[in-house]
Amino acid sequence: MKKIGILTGGADCPGLNSVIRAVVRKAMLEGYVVTGIKNGWNGLIENDMRILDLRLTSGILDRGGTILGTSRIIPPLDKDKEKAISENFERSGIDALIAVGGEDTLKIALSLHNNYGLPVVGVPKSIDNALSGTDYAFGFDTAVNIATECIDRLHTTAESHHRIIVIEVMGRYTGWIALQAGIAGGADIILVPEYKVNIENVCDFLRSHHSRGRSFSIIVVSEGVTVDGYNEAQKEGSTYKHRIGNAGELIATLIEEKTGYETRVSVLGHIQRGGTPTAHDRIIGTRFGVKAVDLVKENKFGKMVSLHDGKIRYVDIKEAVSKHKAIDEDLYKMAQTFSS
Ligand code: F6P
């Protein structure tokens, strides 16, 4: 009987368990055994894995996080570790691997595929929705919904106190969460990494906004924004790229200094990655999981399942990790209607 291995790597997010459940169901129907690899690539380095079955994967569809655990490994993986993975993979008797993760996990998958011929299929996960080659990565919808609810809550307190509230959401390289949650939450200003922030323009807008009788404003900012003349050096010098950090705090401080308006900052952080996945993320995760097993069956390795115009398809992993998927410019322009 053939064996499929599955691992979840990098940042956790709601919807990972939907993929695991779908892979196990579909694989068992197709006559495969499924091995769950613990804690991402670390499980293959340390030989930490266990057989998954219907019992272990039932009742997990609505659970956030990942029952397999995860770990952050920033590529490139050193050569010794790549070798250890390939040797342990060989020894485990696994015939094909499904790697569920974002940019880092998939870059490692691609390198193992290219250097050691690892038969791997990728499944795209990114709350930032930053992966190319797919219209959508699961986890993003849940993050947008959580952020929108937080913006709604912060609206009422901003209004009562006549304050500006800067809400920092996740999004290191792309502003998808800020853009969509900002639109849904009625933000006055949306700041994204794709466009450098001109703080004078932001302050001018706030002054004019307030001169027209509004006594509060909501600004949604991606964690990865660059403020022209301020945090560029900090971003370039960042050694741990997963925490570029403090963009919200910086913007709030500058606004208060320059305008005199009382300003607060709220960093939503990991709350955006926690808890129950939305129905949308459960459905996409399930469809991705089933398709990943189809690709294994068809020996389509080095590929990643993807979503295009509502249909599940696949692309080369290489394409998915080649560049970040920037926000939709038309949507961004449309959102400007509410910042004038
Ligand atoms: O890549 C997903 C993500 O949530 C980013 O939005 C965020 O910058 C980063 O992970 C946080 O990483 P960690 O959980 O390692 O602090």
Q: What is the pLDDT of residues 115-135, one digit of tens each?
A: 999 999 999 999 999 999 999
Contact predicate 90/79, CB 8 Å: no
The C-alpha angle with vertex 95 and arms to 91 and 97, in degrees rounded to 5, equals 100
CA of 11 relative to ligand 1 center, distance in Å:
6
Which atom belonging to ligand 1 lies closest to the Cα atom of 102? 1
- The answer for residues whose C-beta is within 8 angstroms of residue 17's C-beta and 6 or more apart is 57, 60, 61, 63, 64, 65, 66, 67, 277, 285
Q: What is the pLDDT of residues 193-206, one digit of tens each?
A: 999 999 999 999 99
The reply to whether ligand 1 has any atom less than 6 angstroms from the CB of 12 is: no
Q: What is the pLDDT of residues 122-179, one digit of tens each?
A: 999 999 999 999 999 999 999 999 999 999 999 999 999 999 999 999 999 999 999 9
Pick the CATH number of 140-273 from 3.40.50.460, 3.30.1360.230, 3.40.50.2020, 3.40.50.1260: 3.40.50.460
Q: What is the pLDDT of residues 90-117, one digit of tens each?
A: 999 999 999 999 999 999 999 999 999 9
β-bridge pairing 311-316 and 303-308: antiparallel
| DSSP-assigned letter for residue 78 | P
Q: SS3 sequence, 18-35?
A: HHHHHHHHHHHHCCCEEE
What does pTM read for this prediction? Answer: 0.96
The reply to whether ligand 1 has any atom less than 6 angstroms from the CB of 101 is: no
Residue 240: pLDDT band (50, 70, 90) is very low
Determine the residue of 144, 173, 242, 268 to mutate for testing ligand 1's pocket, defined as the one with the most ligand atoms within 8 A of the Cβ atom: 242
Contact predicate 128/171, CB 8 Å: yes
Q: What is the pLDDT of residues 178-227, one digit of tens each?
A: 999 999 999 999 999 999 999 999 999 999 999 999 999 999 999 999 99
Paired tokens of 167 = 């809400």
CA of 215 relative to ligand 1 center, distance in Å:
34
Q: What is the pLDDT of residues 254-268, one digit of tens each?
A: 999 999 999 999 999
The CATH 3.40.50.450 portion of the chain extends over 3-139+277-320
Residue 272: pLDDT band (50, 70, 90) is very high
- Active site members: 128
Can you say how many angstroms the Cα of residue 92 is from the centroid of all Cα atoms in its chain?
30
CA distance 197 to 221: 10
Architecture of the domain spanning 3-139+277-320 = 3-Layer(aba) Sandwich (3.40)
CA of 216 relative to ligand 1 center, distance in Å:
30
Which atom belonging to ligand 1 lies closest to the Cα atom of 177? 6
